[in-house]
Amino acid sequence: MNFTLHLTADCDLACRYCYEKHGPERMDEAAALAACDLLFSFGHKTNGFSLFGGEPLLCRKVIEKTLRYAAEKNWEIGGKLAYRMTTNGVLLDEDFLDFADEHNIMIALSHDGPLQDEQRVFKNGAGTSEALEPKIDMLLSHQPEAVVMATFLPKNAGRVAETVEWLYNRGFSRINTCIDYRPEADWNDENMAELDRQYALLEELCEKHFDSPRPLRYLNFESKIASYLNGRPCIECRLGVKQPSIAPDGKIYPCNQFLNDPRYLMGDVWSGIDAAAQRRIFFEAQKPEASCEGCAIEQRCRHHCACLNFSMTGDMHKVPPVQCAHERSLIRHADGLAKRLYESGSPRFMRVYGNNG
Ligand code: SF4
Ligand code: SF4
Ligand code: SF4
């Protein structure tokens, strides 16, 4: 089982597309350790935490204390324990990366490549790229396979391929992108068409580097190709069960975007998960989205993500049109890439995907 620990809503940056309502709340040690006790109380052998914010590294002491405590509990049961952390990278240093190595924390860096200074800024509006340069080297020296995630405002839709190429040339090989999904983001037909052209360019870029010694792994395409070949859904939303979210005050919610909404409260780290609330939320999320009935690519689309739907439309079953258009475009170009690789006889493509389908 996994918990997402929302260590704080606070952040040292003020990115242009941030949806987080920043506030001073921080999870204290008592709540974090109680979350740990609760996680292990379910008796699973495989457990994990996602360390999330705001910026999780603002709570470094709590992270270190919690993970040491979790490691002891895990040792007692002889289990497996894994952590993920998404960070803006500003507070990364060698000491923390040594700690991450020791505790097997997979770090994902949010970085917008050539758009970093425009989109990801300090609170005084200054760009962050200079501060991040040494952090990138440090991170990649510890975790060469670290994932980097870039986000795009609608006005920068035409710079997706350039950004992926920049990140690849900077040393990242596992790259993901997402678009600004805030309800107020102004996606229109024109910038969606531009995005589609960018994914066509990414087909070429991924093909060019697919069999190189350091392959470019564009994770958006990879997940769509894999889901086609193995016949499994691209994501399965087991809302409230897969990855409950713990707020800084120790209250439990079904997932990130439901945090602090009393309609979705599922208990707290001291009294445990309210099984009736969890069941109600889980089954509510399993109802199909009426607008997707009969869609040929339904299994490969991320429309199941209750969080995304809820944050954009206020209804976990109502898929925003921009999400539908975006998923169609991604799937079309993922298929375009798979066709190119298959037809060219790419050795890595046959190795990675050859046993599926
Ligand atoms: S680093 Fe994340 S939490 Fe902080 S401002 Fe940027 S998007 Fe928001
Ligand atoms: S709401 Fe989205 S992020 Fe949360 S469990 Fe469902 S698919 Fe995953
Ligand atoms: S592509 Fe659109 S209609 Fe099809 S499953 Fe996704 S959101 Fe629904």
Q: Which domains does the chain have, with CATH numbers?
A: 2-237+324-353 (3.20.20.70)
Number of the ligand 2 atom closest to the C-alpha atom of 254? 4
DSSP 284-329: HHHSPPGGGTT-TTGGGSGGG-HHHHHHHHSSTT---HHHHHHHHH
Q: Which residues of the chain are under the pLDDT cut of 70?
A: 355-357
* CB of 292 sitting under 6 A from ligand 3: yes
Q: Whose CA is nearest to atom 8 of ligand 3?
A: 292
The predicted pLDDT at position 354 comes to: 75
Kindly state the DSSP code that residue 154 receives in the 8-state scheme.
G
Measured from the alpha carbon of residue 19, the closest ligand is: 1
Coil/strand/helix, residue 59: helix
Cα–Cα distance between 262 and 266 in angstroms, integer?
Answer: 9
The predicted pLDDT at position 148 comes to: 98
Q: Whose CA is nearest to atom 5 of ligand 3?
A: 298
CA of 59 to the centre of ligand 2 (A): 24
Number of the ligand 1 atom closest to the C-alpha atom of 151? 7
Number of the ligand 1 atom closest to the C-alpha atom of 54? 3
Hey, what amino acid is at 250?
A: G
Pocket of ligand 1 from Cβ distances under 6 Å: 11, 13-15, 18, 20, 53-55, 88, 110
Cα–Cα distance between 307 and 255 in angstroms, integer?
Answer: 7
Q: What is the largest distance, in Å, between two alpha-carbon atoms of the chain?
A: 57
The predicted pLDDT at position 355 comes to: 63
Contacts with 55 (C-beta within 8 Å, 6 or more apart), sequence order? 8, 10, 11, 12, 13, 87, 88, 90, 91
CA of 119 to the centre of ligand 1 (A): 10
The predicted pLDDT at position 357 comes to: 45
The predicted pLDDT at position 233 comes to: 79
